[in-house]
Structure 1
C-alpha cells in the first residue's frame, strides 16, 4: 500500500431508516493508534463519528443514551471505537466468553463475504470483558465460542462508577483493535488487510439496560426486528486507502520554467 492517509471523510450513503442498508467508508490511517480507551490520537480526531439508532426501526434513541462510533484501518488492524453516553454504567461479568449480551455491551459483527452464513462477533462490556465467537448459520446453526480473535486488543475508559446504581454517570468508551490475521478462517478474509475499495458486510450494536426501565437496542444499520443476528440487514463497510476527495481528483499538468 503506497498511499498512506489518515484524513478521511466517512460517508453514510443511505439514511438510517428501518428497512435501509447503510454504507460506510472505513478510512486508512498511517498515524499510530494506541488502544487505551482514550480517543486522542490524530487518526481518531480525523475519523467522523457516526451515531447508532434504534436497532429495530432506526428511530432516535434517548439523548442520555447517545452512542457514537468511529472506524479506521491500517496494514495490521481494523480499529473500532464506541462512545456511549450512559447515566447508569453497570456490568457484573468478568470471565471471557461470558453471556455479556444479558447485561450492557457494545458489539461488532463482521461478514467479509456478505453471505450471512459465516461471520465474526465481538462484544465488549464496561468492565472490558470480552466475548468473541464465530457464527456458522449453515444448518444446524451454531456459535463457536471456542474461537478467539488472536491478538485482539480492547480498552475501556469509564466516566463514572461501574455498578453503583444510585449515582449518575456520564458514559464509557470502548476502543478495539482486531488483527486482520485473526480473521483468516472467516470466508473471504485473507488474513491480511483488504484491498483498496473492498466491501464487507457488518454491523455495530449496543445493548443498554437502564435500572427499572425497558432495555434499549441500538444499531448502526437497523435490522428490522429485536434480533442482532439478522445478517441480511448488515450494513456495507467500504475500505478506502485515500480520502474520497483524493480518489476522485483529476491529474493536472505542472510546467516548470527555468531561467
Structure 2
C-alpha cells in the first residue's frame, strides 16, 4: 500500500474514512451477564491447540451489551458504537502450571466488532445476542440490582437458538469471571489464497489492555442450556454446567497486542 493510503483495514482509500476498522486504541464499555460454567476436561484436544495447554474444566459464558469508540465520534452516531455478543471462555493450564483463558467460540452482531475481534485473535462469527438490562430505577421492568431480580440471555446463530441462560440475583457481592479475571490468549491465522492447500499458520497473541475499570459485581444463581445446532461446535465442550454468575459493568481500552509464545 502506498504512503498516501491511510486505511487500517479494507476498503483501502486515500482518506481512510471508509475503512471498516480504524487503528487502535479501541475503547469499550459494557453491561455483562457472566455465567461461570464447568466443561468436560476430556474434550481439550478438540478445542484447545495442544501447544497452548489443556482445559481445567472451568469456564465462563459472557453475554455483553457493548459500546465502543476510537475517537469519540462513534458515540454521536451509535450505529457505529453499539453491539452485543456472546463470548465463550475456557480456562487452560499451561505446561508450566500457569493458568490462562482461551476463547474457542464467540458470536457478535456488528461487522466492525467482528473484524476488530479477528485482529485480536477472537474467533468471531455473526450471531444475535439478547440480554436483560438492569436500569438504575426501582421499577418492575428495570431489573434492579437487588436480591430476587431475574435476568435472562440468549444467543441465536443462523436463525437457530443456541444458548439460553437465566440468572437470579442473590443480593450478595459477586466476582469477575472469565476474561474479566485473567488474561485471554487469542489465535490469529489467515489463509493465503495463493497457497490454498497449505492452510493458515496459527500464531497467538495477548491483547494489550489499559485503563480497565469495573463496577461492583453482583452475585447470582444461574442456569444455562446449550441447544443442538447443525454447524456450531459448542457441544465440543461437553454439557455445560452453570455454577455461579455475576452482573455488572466494565470498561477497557485495547491499544494493540503482544506475541504469546507457547
TM-score normalized by the length of structure 2: 0.26
Instruction: Determine which structure has greater relative contact order: mean sequence separation of CA pairs < 8 Å that are 6+ residues apart, divided by chain length.
Output: 1
Larger proportion of strand: 2
